Amino acid sequence: METALLIVSILLIIIVLFQSVKAEGGAQIISGGQSELFANRKERGSELVITRITMILGFLFFVICLASMFM
């Protein structure tokens, strides 16, 4: 169980680091820059795939943590 949690954690960290476009908008909010972070943009192509993989890995992380707590 710990091995699966370790693998999912590393994959989640890597896939979050690929989401650099959204991170730039977040940095502009902190620094007070004009950003379009909350603009209605549709994700397409690789951005959509990365977002879906992130959601799946986050869900797996949550499930594995709950399962390890009860075992």
User: 12 lies in which domain range?
Assistant: 2-70
pLDDT tens-place string over residues 20-70: 655 555 555 566 655 555 555 666 788 888 989 999 999 999 999 999 998
- The closest alpha carbon to 5, from 56, 50, 65, belongs to 65
- For the chain, how many structural domains are there in total? 1
Q: How confident is the model at residue 22, as a pLDDT?
A: 57
d(CA 33, CA 10): 32
